[in-house]
């Protein structure tokens, strides 16, 4: 029997499990948008513990309109499923309540060539879960669909992206925000991480998906959601997006004080 509710896996670890405290924390983050709010096709946000990247995530999501549906594309940290695995839950639980799945969009996405249906890579995955409370706070009526993304050739990413765009457009109005969940370079010093990240982010801002992928491999930039971000960019392009704006870029060292081994965090929006 398929599990219909995706229960929290990292509440109390990556973020507080106390509803009132969580609401207050998110309110403080979203009160300071990274840019004036705009309607966007997509957004890139980080997915670490809120202590480290919650501000970057909140500032970014407060800079875009949160429509009725959000499609979250995230790194595949967990085992199980295929390269593009669509979660089949009916609801996602957070300390702020349950987020309903957009079942019409889910059905359309399930028919896209290359996307399979599997809950396995989602049960313990944090990369989508940490984004959900922000979406709930900003739009309590938001519905979601969630796809885990592993490595794939660029041609495959582009084909699946085109299918995702078609699935979105097949819905009434096609009003869906595509959220890519990814951290940047991992476990090098602060200055190295900022420099490496900039190489990838320059390609991102140039809307050069292939260039972003190439430079990450060529320069060993451990951007964990590289292909999830590429999928978001290409799907947004198929929907009519024309530019990418970098919103913020920092590292965990700015919070922890340890500048020797950091993780990079960045946000951007696709307009």
List b or e across 48-71, with b for residues whose CB sees 16 or more CB atoms inside 10 angstroms.
Answer: bebebbbbbbbbbbbbbebbbbbb
Answer whether residue 248 shows pLDDT above 90: yes
Q: What are the chain's domains?
A: 5-270 (3.40.830.10)
Instruction: Please tell me the distance from the alpha carbon of residue 49 to that of residue 43, in angstroms, as a whole number.
Output: 19
Please state the rounded mean pLDDT for residues 122-131: 95
Bridge partners (DSSP) listed for residue 245: 269
Spatial contact of 75 and 225, defined as CB atoms under 8 Å apart: yes
Phi-psi bin for 16: left (phi > 0), alpha (psi -120 to 50), beta? beta
Instruction: Please tell me the distance from the alpha carbon of residue 57 to that of residue 248, in angstroms, as a whole number.
Output: 9
Torsion angle of C-alpha atoms 50, 182, 151, 87, degrees rounded to 10: 60
Q: Which residues contact 177 (CB under 8 A, 6 or more apart)?
A: 40, 41, 42, 43, 64, 65, 66, 67, 69, 70, 71
**pLDDT for residue 240:** 96
Spatial contact of 62 and 30, defined as CB atoms under 8 Å apart: yes
**pLDDT for residue 1:** 43
**pLDDT for residue 173:** 73
Instruction: Please tell me the distance from the alpha carbon of residue 78 to that of residue 53, in angstroms, as a whole number.
Output: 21
Give 76's pLDDT tier (boundaries 50, 70, 90): confident
Express each pLDDT in 2-44 by its tens digit.
689 999 999 999 999 999 999 999 999 999 999 999 999 999 9
User: Count of alpha carbons within 13 Å of 74, Cβ hemisphere only?
Assistant: 28
Q: Rounded to an integer, what is the distance from CA 43 to the centroid of its chain?
A: 7
Spatial contact of 268 and 247, defined as CB atoms under 8 Å apart: yes
Express each pLDDT in 144-196 by its tens digit.
999 999 999 999 999 999 999 999 999 977 799 999 999 999 999 999 999 99
Please state the rounded mean pLDDT for residues 198-220: 98
């Amino acid at each position: 029997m398929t599990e219909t509710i995706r229960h929290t896996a990292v509440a109390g670890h990556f973020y507080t499990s106390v509803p009132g405290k969580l609401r207050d924390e998110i309110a403080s983050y979203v009160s300071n948008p990274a840019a004036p709010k705009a309607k966007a096709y997509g957004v890139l946000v980080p997915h670490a513990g809120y202590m480290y990247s919650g501000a970057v995530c909140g500032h970014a999501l407060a800079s875009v309109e949160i429509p009725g549906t959000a499609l979250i594309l995230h790194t595949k940290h967990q085992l199980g499923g295929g390269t593009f695995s669509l979660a089949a839950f009916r609801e996602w639980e957070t300390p702020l309540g349950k987020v309903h799945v957009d079942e019409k969009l889910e059905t359309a996405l399930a028919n896209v060539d290359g996307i399979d249906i599997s809950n396995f890579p989602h049960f313990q995955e944090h990369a989508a879960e940490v984004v959900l409370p922000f979406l709930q706070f900003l739009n309590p009526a938001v519905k979601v669909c969630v796809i885990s993304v592993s490595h794939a050739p660029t041609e495959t990413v582009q084909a699946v992206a085109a299918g995702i765009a078609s699935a979105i457009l097949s819905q009434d109005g096609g009003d869906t925000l595509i959220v890519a969940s990814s951290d940047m370079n991992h476990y090098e010093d602060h200055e190295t991480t900022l420099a490496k990240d900039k190489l990838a982010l320059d390609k991102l801002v140039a809307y050069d998906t292939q260039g972003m992928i190439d430079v990450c491999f060529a320069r060993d930039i451990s951007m964990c959601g590289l292909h999830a971000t590429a999928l978001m960019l290409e799907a947004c392009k198929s929907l009519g997006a024309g530019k990418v704006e970098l919103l913020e870029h920092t590292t965990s060292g700015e919070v922890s004080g340890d500048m020797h081994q950091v993780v990079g965090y960045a946000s951007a929006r696709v307009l």
